[in-house]
Amino acid sequence: MQEQDVIIIGAGAAGLMCAISAGGRGKSVAVLDHANKVGKKILMSGGGRCNFTNYYAEPSNFLSRNEHFCKSALSRYTQWDFIALVEKHNIPYHEKKLGQLFCDNKAKDIVNMLLDECSDVGADVRTHCSIEQVEKLEKGFLLTTSQGKWRCQSLVIATGGLSIPTMGATGFGYDLAKQFGLTVLPTTAGLVPFTLTPSLLEQFEGLSGTSADAIVSCNGESFRENILFTHRGLSGPSILQISSYWRPGDSIEINLFPDLDLFKELKDNQQARPKSHINTLLAETLTKKLADRLTDLWFKEIKDKPLAELSNESLQRVAEQCQAWSLKPTGTEGYRTAEVTLGGIDTDEVSSKTFEAKKVPGLYFIGEVLDVTGHLGGFNFQWAWASGHACGQEL
């Protein structure tokens, strides 16, 4: 029987940060993970360079049934606190865009930093350790694992969500919450590409890999970044962002010319360049390949006519189609490629200060397993750091 003050299940971003925070306060800590190595999602994130936080992280960047829940932790451990930790370890980083911070070298720099910090506070980090049973004792918990039995006063669940099961994601945290009588809200894939109907895929065949700067809108939310055509449908940052607000059956609206009043632009060019054609003008903003395809699909009857011969009605139709393109996805690619899981353990079940389950003294939940989901761009990592640190300070 091994005994610790604190056992954390899950050696990802939130779990490791919690171990550092609790260990730094003199608690004996063990972090147990069933995977063969720690921080797998950290290692794969940001194209292998880890988008570890965002200069502009604030509560409005997070989705939750209780929009206020995240405020306390985010205010107690900010992006500047994590940046200071990165700088303490002399890890070079850069801002890519929109406040997104990436390692100059490899995401492994962040994992090594967290493991070094764990080592400094004496936290015992174990891999290949599957949890077989969790029992509540009169004081604390008893865990039966593939590496024997463990006892602890405080048990922290940092097992993440269901996204990217090939990285080892499971529903363990949700199952454990249910075991102890906590409410788990329905989960869906978030920050995930859309799939399209076979007929639409046929229309866009050959465009896979083509991108365009666009504003994508759905259910009162809008994001501006690139969209990317894929062989399954649509991806790219603005598509991933809006996917968290989309529900099955909803349409999305895409503005392919976010910086222009396209109708006015077409009218001006009708005067200045009367012999030009629609696809030529569209290709000044879009790629030629995309401009030609959209002209063939949407404006076939006028594509061979010079601007001088086009009516105001025709120009208006071009502008409306390009700036308010309505599209109904058939679905998403699901957890297989989703960056995060929407929904999860109801935050009403958990203290926003301590992260302790209100019904189960000594049981804590942090990170993605909770019903808190960030936007794309380093926000989900900031939630992991903030919730892990805040919890560790209360154990």
Helix axes 262-272, 312-323, angle to 10 degrees: 140
- C-alpha to C-alpha distance for 25 and 180, rounded to whole angstroms: 28
Residues 190/243, Cβ–Cβ less than 8 Å: yes
State the Rg of the chain over Cα: 25
What pTM was computed for the model? 0.95
Q: What is the DSSP letter of 35?
A: S
108-136 pLDDT tens trace: 999 999 999 999 999 999 999 999 999 99
φ, ψ for residue 136 (rounded to 5)? Answer: -85, 125
pLDDT band of 390, cuts 50, 70, 90? very high
Amino acid letter, residue 314 = S
59-91 pLDDT tens trace: 999 999 999 999 999 999 999 999 999 999 999
Residues 216/365, Cβ–Cβ less than 8 Å: no
User: For position 345, what pLDDT does the model report?
Assistant: 98
286-334 pLDDT tens trace: 999 999 999 999 999 999 999 999 999 999 999 999 999 999 999 999 9
89-102 pLDDT tens trace: 999 999 999 999 99
358-386 pLDDT tens trace: 999 999 999 999 999 999 999 999 999 99
Residues 287/209, Cβ–Cβ less than 8 Å: no
- C-alpha to C-alpha distance for 345 and 179, rounded to whole angstroms: 12
Q: What is the DSSP letter of 122?
A: T
Q: What is the DSSP letter of 255?
A: E
Q: Helix/strand/coil (H, E, C) string of 330-394?
A: CEECHHHCCCEEEEEECHHHECCCCCEECCCCCEEECHHHECCEECCCCHHHHHHHHHHHHHHCC
Residues in the chain: 395
**Residue reference for tokens 């992260």:** 355
Rounded to an integer, the average pLDDT of 208-216 is: 98
Instruction: Give the number of other Cβ atoms within 10 Å of residue 263's Cβ.
Output: 17
Q: How far lies 213's CA from each of 92, 208, 257, in Å?
A: 29, 15, 8
Q: CB burial class (10 A; 0-12, 13-18, 19+) of residue 47?
A: exposed
pLDDT above 70 covers what percent of the chain? 100
172: Cα separation from own chain's centroid = 20
Say if residue 167's pLDDT is above 90. Answer: no
User: For position 295, what pLDDT does the model report?
Assistant: 97
Domains of the chain: 2-189+335-392 (3.50.50.60), 193-332 (2.40.30.10)
Q: What is the DSSP string of 265-287?
A: HHHHHHHH-TT--HHHHHTTTS-
Say if residue 388's pLDDT is above 90. Answer: yes
- C-alpha to C-alpha distance for 131 and 77, rounded to whole angstroms: 30
φ, ψ for residue 83 (rounded to 5)? Answer: -60, -40
Coil, helix or strand at residue 101? strand
